[in-house]
Chain A
Amino acid sequence: MATVSLESRPYEKVSDHDSSHESVNYLNHDHSILSWLLTLDHKRIGLLYLVTITLMFLLGGALAGAVRLELLTPKGDLLAADTYNKAFTAHGIIMLFFFLIPSIPAVMGNFVLPLMIGAKDVAFPRLNLLSYYLYFAGSVIALTALLLGGVDTGWTFYTPFSSTYSNSYVVVMAVGLFVVGFSSILTGLNFVVTVHRMRCPGLTWFRLPLFIWAIYATSVVQLLGTPVIAVTLGLLGVERTLGVGIFDPRLGGDPILFQHLFWFYSHPAVYIMILPSLGLISEVISTFSKKTVFGYHIIAFSSIAIAVFGFIVWAHHMFTTGISPYAAMVFSLLTFSVAIPSGIKVFSWLATMYGGSISFDTPMIYAFGFLGLFTIGGLTGLFLSTLGTDIHLHDTYFIVAHFHYIMVGGAIMGYMAGVHFWWPKITGRLYSEFWGKLSAGITFIGFNFTFFPQFILGYLGMPRRYYEYPDEFQVLNVFSTAGASILAIGYLMPMFYMPLSFFFGEKANSNPYGATTLDWTDTTSPPSPHNFEKTPVVTEEPYNFHGKEAAVVSH
């Protein structure tokens, strides 16, 4: 076992001792196709997800491009009205259910969760592979629905439009989401059990890295929320195929019931998307500030608090539907309270950086972007939880901008930070810092160009989901579309330099950043098939950078 001191440059060339021979790792121990497709190794399953969700991301991004191009001009000239409806619906469904929800948990979670807790694998490796194939099958079904002619209901499937009037392939899509939902449930179940039962000796709950706390909270939400959307979509399918009226007011049903059931999952689903990012950012900021996380316990609890609050604020999506004003007041108040744990996290990140020894590596640049965008997204959420303001802003571009600041500016920036952060661990290679930083910068600029004008558009009253708009909104829409093309460049760049790094990148040592968690200190890069040579034993709390030497494992 060799050690490097913290003072050494992160991207120092690996010593001869490390790279003299190619050691056996999870990537090279078996090259056959079947060994990948039938793998039970959490690391390989993570990579299967990485490839699949990247394809889905490209598809969802292309659809977003179509939507933004249509909105370049006030008239509906590029897409027909119906095609436009199908494009934004497909964009929403793909990005939410097939990219964001599996993104950090299924890729990063699968890859690093067992490494971070010193386990050989997740608790149920076969179930893990089944989750992947359920995801894959759900994707195929959803893509089938798109190829058959698509769905025009919006990703929310509101009844009675989706149940009675829409002539598109709602049932096929619902089946796809039902299947992918079970993938999400089983992943959550696997992670919950893994965190409870697979921690290595000495790794008590309050020695867990904060990413694990976040993934744990996310998994609980997946476990509790997803079955509700599954049964809701099931009822929607029953209503459509049998012509009965559980959600149809003409037949005695209640369309608001659908919205309640839908948002009972889909609001917590927002936290499925953002919570893992919040945990991941804690890792990145602490590591690149070389400083222990400020307020470890309260950050851990704030992840749990966000998961709990996530379940009791769903009706804030329904303030304009005529729900009881008293219920609306309670939901408004509860929604405001989500700001508390979120604010705690933001201040903790700032306090972590304060006085730290900050290095501006690519993951950190992404994390900076995340900080700003998540804060704006969070603060504009307060506008929307205010009952009166929400009446004005509901279903306008303000909402579109708000949730893109959280989902794209927050969740995807976090995801990109994570991919870059763990890339040396995943592949054993370093990517180009220059291109990495450039892509982070371009993404940040492109993102703001795209979505900030939408706040103004929404404030001025431009409704979402329309393919035409009055001439006076054009300037801001041109801004937004131009920004989207910059954003696209930012996202496309890693798709070139990351694969290049995979094949030609400089070899990384086991802990290029001097991080303190087990995934860095006790495994090689890339890790061996069974992760650890010896089961690690943890003797202290995480993020102890002081007076320590970060270990580099060599074989």
Chain B
Amino acid sequence: MSATNQTVQDHGQHHHHKDLAHHFDTLEQQHDANTLGMWAFLLTEVLFFGGLFAAYTIYRYKYSAMFEEASNHLDITLGATNTVILILSSLTMALAVRCSQTGQAVWTGRWLLITIFFGLMFLGVKYFEWKHDYNIRLMPGKDWAGKDFFWWQYAKKAKEMEKHDKGHSHALPDPKDVLPDNHPSLGIKGIQESQQARLFFLLYFCMTSLHALHMLVGFVLIGIIAYFAYQGAYSPDYYSPVENIGLYWHFVDIVWIFLFPLLYLLGAHMGH
């Protein structure tokens, strides 16, 4: 394809714009490239979580009864609270993007910081939830591994006690009460139940911790962009970093919107 000698019309002031990287011709081209890059990255992320969702789907189908029972051990109230918090953070993120587009530098920074605040709140709730999960032996640990199925008996006992006193005393079962001197009494069915419940909780921890990891990365990125926003780095001409971090944050939210029903609501009909 032979090209002519003619030069592209020089785009005047754009070439000297401080935010225009040398290899782009126009700010618009740069903005489009950045946005497409972010969408492509999110596509990758969908597939990245997709592997876990595929594994979840297979075992949900294979061990549906136990998945529902295991799901019933998670705290719907905390899960729902977190869902609301995260949706609020999406709102504040959308406001940050809007402010960057209209050139309100200070409010861009503020909304970004508020987004981080909601994100931290989410992880705070998650921390107490995980701690509780750990106490009732749902979390992968030494009780969990290999052929030791004791953890599931313990978790069931904890659930029973919680149901009994309507969650007021927060007392944990005495391990001795559930410690089977006689593993065989679990029977093959008990062992299978324990294995299947373990798969559920494995996926629960993998998926929620991968999600949390994405939030942590988000905090760092949002923090950096908030800093630049306060410095006045963004203008109606150039706001793609804010827009892109917004896309990322909404993606993290959407993942949670899927995780919440799949993990928490699955066993809701079994009552608490």
Contacts and interface: CB of A to CB of B under 8 A. Distances in A.
A124 B40 CA distance: 13
Nearest to B3: A536
Nearest to B192: A252
Contacts of A223: 40, 43-44
A4 interface: no
Nearest to B202: A244
B4 interface: yes
B198 A227 contact: no
Given A246-B199, A251-B198, A123 B33 contact: yes
B195 A125 contact: no
Contact of B144 (A127, A244, A540): A244
B40 A535 contact: no
A242 B44 contact: no
A118 interface: yes
Nearest to B195: A252
B52 to A, nearest CB: 6
B36 A197 contact: yes
Contact of B206 (A119, A201, A238, A548): A238
B23 interface: yes
A227 B210 CA distance: 13
Interface stretch (B55-63, B84-92, B122-130, B159-167): B55-63
B179 interface: no
A537 B3 contact: yes
Contacts of B5: 1, 534
A228 B32 CA distance: 27
Interface in A76-124: 118-124
A227 B43 CA distance: 10
Contacts of B29: 197-198
A193 B1 contact: no
Contacts, number: 156
A406 B22 CA distance: 40
Interface string A452-464: 0000000000000
Contact of A518 (B3, B32, B140): B3
If over half of B's interface residues share one DSSP class (helix, strand or loop), that class is named, otherwise mixed; here it is helix
A225 B5 CA distance: 41
A189 B44 contact: yes
Given A123-B37, A254-B62, A537-B8, A516 B52 contact: no
Contacts of A232: 51
Contacts of B140: 242, 244
B251 to A, nearest CB: 13
Contacts of A125: 21, 23
B54 interface: yes
B41 to A, nearest CB: 6
B185 interface: no
Given A223-B44, A244-B198, A540 B37 contact: no
A231 interface: yes
A539 B37 contact: no
B96 to A, nearest CB: 23
A207 B198 contact: no
Given A189-B40, A228-B47, A246-B55, A197 B3 contact: no
Interface in B167-213: 192, 195-196, 198-199, 202-203, 206
Interface string B1-20: 11111111000000000000
Interface string A156-199: 00000000000000000000000000000100011011101110
Interface residues of A, number: 70
Contacts of B32: 197
B6 A537 contact: yes
Nearest to B45: A227
B145 interface: yes
Contacts of B199: 244-246, 252-253
Contacts of B144: 242-244
A445 interface: no
B37 A193 contact: yes
Nearest to B66: A252
Interface string A291-322: 00000000000000000000000000000000
Nearest to B8: A535
Nearest to A227: B48
A385 interface: no
B271 interface: no
B50 interface: yes
Interface in B101-157: 140, 144-146
Given A244-B145, A535-B7, A518 B47 contact: no
B197 to A, nearest CB: 9
B237 interface: no
Contact of A254 (B6, B21, B47, B58): B58
A226 interface: yes
24 contacts: A122-B23, A123-B33, A193-B36, A197-B29, A223-B43, A223-B44, A227-B47, A227-B48, A227-B51, A228-B48, A228-B50, A230-B48, A234-B206, A235-B51, A238-B202, A238-B206, A244-B144, A244-B199, A252-B192, A252-B195, A517-B1, A522-B3, A537-B8, A551-B3
In the A-B complex, list the 6 residue pairs whose CB atoms are closest, starting with the nearest: A252-B195, A231-B51, A243-B145, A227-B48, A121-B23, A536-B3
